[in-house]
Structure 1
Amino acid sequence: MSRLIIALLVIASAVASAQNKSQVVEGMSTERLARIDVRMQQAIKDNWFPGAVVLIIRNGKPVYFKSFGKSDLEASTDMKKDNIFRIASQTKAITSLAVMMLFEEGKFQLDDPVSKFIPEFKNSQVLTEFNANDSTYKSTPAKKEITIRHLLTHTSGISYAAIGSSEFNAIYAKASVPSGIGTAFATLGDKMKILGGLPIKHLPGESFTYGLNIDVLGYLVEIWSGQTLSNFFESRIFRPLGMNDTYFYLPVEKHSRLVPVYEEVNGKLSKVTHQIYDKVDPWYPRLKGQYYSGGAGLSSTVEDYSKFLQLFLNKGEYNGKRLLSRKTVELMLTNQTGAMSTQFGLGFELETALNDYQDPTSIGTFSWGGAFNTTYWADPKENLVALLYTQIYQSPHREIGSLFKALTYQAIVD
């Protein structure tokens, strides 16, 4: 009898083990999700990055949340799920949310000219000639004003500082207009007023040009709200959503959680100690500054940013707090750029019928990322949020984002 009991226990244990191995959580196979582990570990072994944090949420519940590798190679510090990352351009969507919250308060209309609020943007000029020897240029009147909608969709003609074209890098540098990545000096308003007097790349509404548009919007948020962008974010967005680890400048007690930036040098990873982009200290989130870049200034955790994305999947509400109406969310997630090179809503890149089937994401998926190789997307059809954060300068292995997408969607089994 005892042998029979033992045999039955062994069989039951094996069945339980098999069931656990192929467990399905919120319609996703844990066995298939484990393939992400293998790929992340291989990427670390191949020196793509020292470590990473990955979070996948489905139906509002975390189904995969893991950290990999090291946050600091030299100190041999393990990466942790609550590590803080420079999210750079992921700041843009948060600023866009702030803008649309003020839109709902009647502070402006989407097709209002920017010059209505920042006079320096009146009479924009389009660049026609550029002299690389001394950064002088010639321009012609745009004959059309930049609007709030143009800024939200990156169709204003405004380019980027430090990471834009060589012509505009030089023009902006000469005028001391920064990229916003790690800028700690001056104030946003001072620099955006200067930007308003500089030439644009093309006529407003003519084309998609990724640029300092959302920094201009950050300054507009300050004008409309009467608060600094930092204070508006904290009081109107971060506190209601419970985003307790998202800042322009980190409090001292959270400095140790900030992940160092690495770069690939001769096939090996090296911690960045030199200045980056437009002569920026890579440890800029630890500085004390008053420049609140709406386009690139924030640092955050994957968990914090997932709450922000879930707000949109929940049609403007999170944890009982409503920040936007359902209709405004729908507007933000509707293609505003037609058949331009990038399909963009009011704050996010969109998966549309024009660019569908390039990867497994559903039509309606919204996404973006950051300069230090952080990436995210949210898929309303699958009720899915996914984030992958690393910290790499001039990242040569951005294909990790597309690999991550494939590995996420192959785990959906419902």
Structure 2
Amino acid sequence: MHDVMAGYIERGEVPGIVTLISRKGEVHVEAYGMKALGGSSPMSRDTLFRIASMTKPITAAAAMILVEEGKLQLDEPVDRLLPELAGRRVLKRLEGPIDDMVPANRPITLLDLLTFRLGIGIVMAPPGQYPIQRKMADLGLEPGPTPPVHEPDEWIRRLGSLPLIHQPGEAWMYHTGSDVLGILIARAAGQSLEHVFRSRIFDPLGMGDTGFHVPAGKLARLPASYMTSPDPSQGTLMVHDDPEVGRWSRPPAFPSGGGGLVSTADDYLAFCRMMLNGGRQGSGHILSRSSVELMTTNHLTPKQIEGACDFLGVNRGWGFGVSVSIGQDHLTSKPGRFGWDGGIGTSGFSDPNEDLVGILMTQRLMDSPEPPGVFQDFWTSVYQAIEAGD
């Protein structure tokens, strides 16, 4: 693994990498490269990363905590706490005008949010191809690697002004459900999403470096993030987010349950280990085993999985905030494996059958839904290493 990961640094494909493998009580962590292109500050084990959509499993876990506390119910319509989403209407056809609608067959439920079957999310088409995409972009609701800029109440009001793309429960549509879920959690708890996360998950698990922004005293540990440069003559990569003045240098207007957190490899390991342990941490517990089992079970029908293949890939379904392997077509896709990637260059999955957690942290944005080479080579190396060790 060291040689393979080091190759990505030497070729300039990513400035730096942190890898972590945890299995059967043993943890191996390695840092490669620098925090910035051409910089002199090396990557380290405690480097902070924008984990983007690796936030989604944490948001789902927070929702299930509130279910266990009796503050939410899986089959309950969200209308009570999110009146902005009551009385939904649905587009007659994706390519049609946004005022050509029919009434929704039923309300959106918490289960719909957790499984991304609320009826709206990323449209798998080039940006701006359909009227609903253009309207979402105009309202600041278009999902992307940078969290929304509107405050939660305004964001959900804007979302409520749009029709759904599918009937609730009908189809899997990525991302938006987690941002809606974050607002629902905050309203159900009567606290900010940050407070819910910290009091119920981060503090009990010792995740002291995880949050929605980086305090000034820790900014030196946050590297710049990069994206592919549109002009190769100016270099392969360009800065996406500057740590000193960028989006994560201050508290956000919108704490995004879909992609707003920063974390470290060790902090995220604490969350993954809790999930592998059936919700338990030491002598206490964060979630019941039943909740973890529900979260890590595929909830999509074969038809829904087929329609989601461009994003999920083959032989993967969706649980609550995580993808779930349901078949094996690669040495890394063992049935029961669960987790998710982050669009700013991170990956975290757990394999209950191997008692395994793997975490990859980089700071380069993904160019497409297809995992980049560094992801694929990391996971291949993980499984090759454990089988060679056995």
User: Does TM-score exceed 0.5, indicating one fold?
Assistant: yes
Please give the alpha-carbon distance, in whole angstroms, between the structure 2 residues aligned to 1:160 and 1:171.
13
Match of 1:322 among 285, 291, 314: 285
Match of 2:341 among 369, 381, 395: 369
Match of 2:385 in 1: 411
Match of 1:344 in 2: 318
Of the structure 1 ranges 244-253 and 182-191, higher mean CA displacement relative to structure 2 is found in 182-191
Q: Which amino acid aligns with 2:171?
A: S
Q: How does 1:122-271 map to 2 (within 5 A)?
A: 122-128=86-92, 137-160=99-122, 166=128, 167=130, 168-177=132-141, 179=143, 181-183=145-147, 185-265=149-229, 266=232, 268-271=235-238
Of the structure 1 ranges 42-51 and 247-256, higher mean CA displacement relative to structure 2 is found in 42-51
Question: Is the CA contact 1:260–1:271 (under 8 Å) kept in the aligned structure 2?
Answer: no
Q: Which amino acid aligns with 2:11?
A: D
CA displacement at 1:273 relative to structure 2: 5.5
1:107/1:409 CA distance change after superposition, 3 Å: same
Match of 1:402 in 2: 376
Please give the alpha-carbon distance, in whole angstroms, between the structure 1 residues aligned to 2:25 and 2:40.
34
CA displacement at 1:99 relative to structure 2: 0.1
Match of 2:355 in 1: 383
CA displacement at 1:394 relative to structure 2: 4.2
Q: Which amino acid aligns with 2:89?
A: Q
Match of 1:43 in 2: 8
Q: CA RMSD in A?
A: 2.6
TM-score by length of 1: 0.83
1:407/1:282 CA distance change after superposition, 3 Å: farther
CA displacement at 1:311 relative to structure 2: 0.4
Match of 2:72 among 99, 103, 108: 108
Question: Is the CA contact 2:98–2:163 (under 8 Å) kept in the aligned structure 1?
Answer: no
Secondary structure of 1:71's counterpart equals coil
CA displacement at 1:197 relative to structure 2: 2.9
Match of 2:44 in 1: 80
Of the structure 1 ranges 227-236 and 38-47, higher mean CA displacement relative to structure 2 is found in 38-47
Aligned residues: 370
CA displacement at 1:274 relative to structure 2: 7.8
CA displacement at 1:235 relative to structure 2: 1.3
CA displacement at 1:185 relative to structure 2: 4.1
Please give the alpha-carbon distance, in whole angstroms, between the structure 2 residues aligned to 1:253 and 1:178.
32
Of the structure 1 ranges 332-341 and 238-247, higher mean CA displacement relative to structure 2 is found in 332-341
TM-score by length of 2: 0.87
Q: Which amino acid aligns with 2:375?
A: G
Match of 1:305 in 2: 268
Q: Percent identity?
A: 35
Q: Which amino acid aligns with 1:143?
A: N
Q: Deviations over 1:74-112 (max 9, x none)?
A: 322211111111111111111101000000011222111
Please give the alpha-carbon distance, in whole angstroms, between the structure 2 residues aligned to 1:181 and 1:102.
27
Question: Is the CA contact 2:117–2:169 (under 8 Å) kept in the aligned structure 1?
Answer: yes
Question: Is the CA contact 1:182–1:285 (under 8 Å) kept in the aligned structure 2?
Answer: no
1:369/1:182 CA distance change after superposition, 3 Å: same
Q: Deviations over 1:119-160 (max 9, x none)?
A: 12122222235789xx85422222222111111011111114
Please give the alpha-carbon distance, in whole angstroms, between the structure 2 residues aligned to 1:181 and 1:157.
21
Please give the alpha-carbon distance, in whole angstroms, between the structure 1 residues aligned to 2:117 and 2:50.
26
Question: Is the CA contact 2:348–2:357 (under 8 Å) kept in the aligned structure 1?
Answer: yes
Please give the alpha-carbon distance, in whole angstroms, between the structure 2 residues aligned to 1:273 and 1:325.
39
1:214/1:194 CA distance change after superposition, 3 Å: same
Please give the alpha-carbon distance, in whole angstroms, between the structure 2 residues aligned to 1:183 and 1:334.
27
Q: Which amino acid aligns with 1:88?
A: A
Of the structure 1 ranges 309-318 and 391-400, higher mean CA displacement relative to structure 2 is found in 391-400
Of the structure 1 ranges 311-320 and 175-184, higher mean CA displacement relative to structure 2 is found in 175-184
The question of 1:59 aligning with 2:24 is answered: yes
Secondary structure of 2:92's counterpart equals strand
Q: Which amino acid aligns with 1:326?
A: R
Q: How does 1:252-291 map to 2 (within 5 A)?
A: 252-265=216-229, 266=232, 268-272=235-239, 283-291=246-254
Of the structure 1 ranges 285-294 and 213-222, higher mean CA displacement relative to structure 2 is found in 285-294
Structure 2 unaligned spans of 5+: 306-311
Question: Is the CA contact 1:161–1:178 (under 8 Å) kept in the aligned structure 2?
Answer: no
Structure 1 unaligned spans of 5+: 1-35, 276-280
CA displacement at 1:259 relative to structure 2: 1.3
Q: How does 1:81-96 map to 2 (within 5 A)?
A: 81-96=45-60
Q: Deviations over 1:219-275 (max 9, x none)?
A: 111111110001111111111100011110111101111111123332844341689
Select the structure of larger CA radius of gyration. Answer: 1
Q: Deviations over 1:375-402 (max 9, x none)?
A: 1110001000001111113437713222
